[in-house]
Chains A and B, each alone.
Chain A
Amino acid sequence: MEESDSEKKMEKENLGPRMDPPIGEPEGSLGWVLPNTAMKKKVLLMGKSGSGKTSMRSIIFANYIARDTRRLGATIDVEHSHVRFLGNLVLNLWDCGGQDTFMENYFTSQRDNIFRNVEVLIYVFDVESRELEKDMHYYQSCLEAILQNSPDAKIFCLLHKMDLVQEDQRDLIFKEREEDLRRLSRPLECSCFRTSIWDETLYKAWSSIVYQLIPNVQQLEMNLRNFAEIIEADEVLLFERATFLVISHYQCKEQRDAHRFEKISNIIKQFKLSCSKLAASFQSMEVRNSNFAAFIDIFTSNTYVMVVMSDPSIRFSLEEEFKFLSQLLGVLLSQTAKMPPETLGKKRHSAAVDPWE
Chain B
Amino acid sequence: MANMDSDSRHLLIPEGDHEVNPGPMNIQFDSSDIRSKRPFYIEPTNIVNVNDVIQRVSDHASAMNKRIHYYSRLTAPADRALIAPDHVVPAPEECYVYSPLGSAYKLQCYTEGYGKNTSLVTIFMIWNTMLGTSILSIPWGIKQAGFTTGMCVIMLMGLLTLYCCYRVVKSRSMISSVDTTTWEYPDVCRYYFGSFGQWSSLLFSLVSLIGAMIVYWVLMSNFLFNTGKFIFNFIHHINDTDTIPSTNDSDPVICPSARSSGHPDNSSMIFYASDSELQQFEKWWNKSKTVPFYLIGLLLPLLNFKSPSFFSKFNILGTVSVLYLIFLVTWKAIRLGFHLEFHWFTPTEFFVPEIRFQFPQLTGVLTLAFFIHNCIITLLKNNKNQENNVRDLSIAYMLVTLTYLYIGVLVFASFPSPPLSKDCIEQNFLDNFPSSDILSFIARIFLLFQMMTVYPLLGYLARVQLLGHVFGDVYPRYSGAACGLAFVFIYPSLIYIISLYQEERLTWPKLILHVFIIILGLANLIVQFFM
Contacts and interface: CB of A to CB of B under 8 A. Distances in A.
Given A200-B4, A207-B1, A262 B74 contact: no
A62 interface: yes
Interface in B30-89: 59-60, 62-64, 66-67, 69-71, 73-76, 79, 81-82, 84-85, 87-88
Given A163-B88, A266-B69, A204 B59 contact: no
B277 interface: no
Contact of B81 (A67, A262, A273): A67
Contacts of B84: 198
A318 to B, nearest CB: 24
B2 interface: yes
Contacts of A258: 2-4, 7, 59
A267 interface: yes
A313 to B, nearest CB: 22
A259 B59 contact: yes
Nearest to A164: B87
Nearest to B75: A65
B7 to A, nearest CB: 6
B59 A55 contact: no
A198 B70 contact: no
Interface string A28-69: 000000000000000000000000000100110011110100
B87 A263 contact: no
Interface string A197-233: 1111000100110010000000000000000000000
B66 A266 contact: yes
Contacts of B69: 266, 270
A59 B59 contact: no
Given A64-B75, A259-B4, A266 B82 contact: no
A64 B88 contact: no
A65 B73 CA distance: 10
A257 interface: yes
Residues of A contacting B: mostly: helix
Nearest to A255: B2
Given A67-B79, A204-B4, A198 B74 contact: no
Contacts of A70: none
A276 B181 CA distance: 50
Contacts, number: 78
Contacts of A163: 85, 87-88
B68 to A, nearest CB: 9
A315 interface: no
Contacts of A263: 62-63, 66
Interface string A79-114: 000000000000000000000000000000000000
A197 B82 CA distance: 9
A7 B62 CA distance: 50
Contacts of B66: 262-263, 266-267
Contacts of B70: 59, 266-267, 269-270
Given A163-B87, A258-B7, A273-B73, A65 B82 contact: yes
Given A259-B63, A266-B67, A267-B66, A62 B87 contact: no
Interface string B137-165: 00000000000000000000000000000
A274 B70 CA distance: 11
Contacts of B87: 163-164
A256 interface: yes
Given A259-B60, A259-B63, A270 B1 contact: no
A273 B67 CA distance: 14
B1 A65 contact: no
A58 B1 contact: no
Given A67-B79, A262-B67, A198 B1 contact: no
A59 B67 CA distance: 10
Interface string A243-261: 0001000000001111110
A252 to B, nearest CB: 14
A68 to B, nearest CB: 12
Nearest to B7: A258
A273 B70 CA distance: 9
A139 B163 CA distance: 72
A42 B62 CA distance: 35
Given A58-B74, A163-B87, A198-B88, A204 B1 contact: yes
Contacts of B71: 59, 197
Interface residues of B, number: 26
Given A64-B75, A204-B4, A258-B7, A55 B88 contact: no
Interface string B414-433: 00000000000000000000
A208 B1 contact: yes
Contacts of A199: 64, 88
A236 to B, nearest CB: 15
A3 B71 CA distance: 43
Contacts of B75: 64-65, 67
B13 to A, nearest CB: 10
Interface in A177-212: 197-200, 204, 207-208, 211
Given A267-B66, A273-B73, A65 B4 contact: no
Nearest to B61: A259
Contacts of A257: 59, 63
Contacts of B81: 55, 65, 67
Contacts of A63: 74
Nearest to B78: A67
The CB with the most chain B CB atoms within 10 A, among A63, A208, A211, A262, is that of: A262
A269 B66 CA distance: 11
A112 to B, nearest CB: 34
A65 B82 CA distance: 9
Contacts of A197: 71, 82
Interface string B287-326: 0000000000000000000000000000000000000000
Nearest to A61: B74
The CB with the most chain B CB atoms within 10 A, among A246, A258, A260, A267, is that of: A258
Contacts of B7: 258-259
A200 B2 CA distance: 12
A272 B444 CA distance: 71
B95 to A, nearest CB: 17
A65 B60 CA distance: 26
A325 to B, nearest CB: 23
A12 B1 CA distance: 42
Nearest to B89: A198
B79 A65 contact: yes
A164 B60 CA distance: 18
Q: Top 5 closest A-B pairs, CB basis?
A: A259-B63, A266-B70, A198-B88, A258-B4, A257-B59
6 contacts: A59-B70, A64-B76, A198-B64, A199-B64, A204-B4, A259-B62
Interface of A: 55, 58-59, 62-65, 67, 163-164, 197-200, 204, 207-208, 211, 246, 255-260, 262-263, 266-267, 269-270, 273-274
Interface of B: 1-4, 7, 59-60, 62-64, 66-67, 69-71, 73-76, 79, 81-82, 84-85, 87-88
Given A208-B1, A258-B2, A267-B66, 17 more contacts: A58-B82, A59-B74, A59-B82, A63-B74, A65-B81, A65-B82, A67-B76, A67-B81, A197-B82, A257-B59, A259-B4, A259-B7, A259-B60, A266-B67, A266-B70, A269-B70, A270-B70
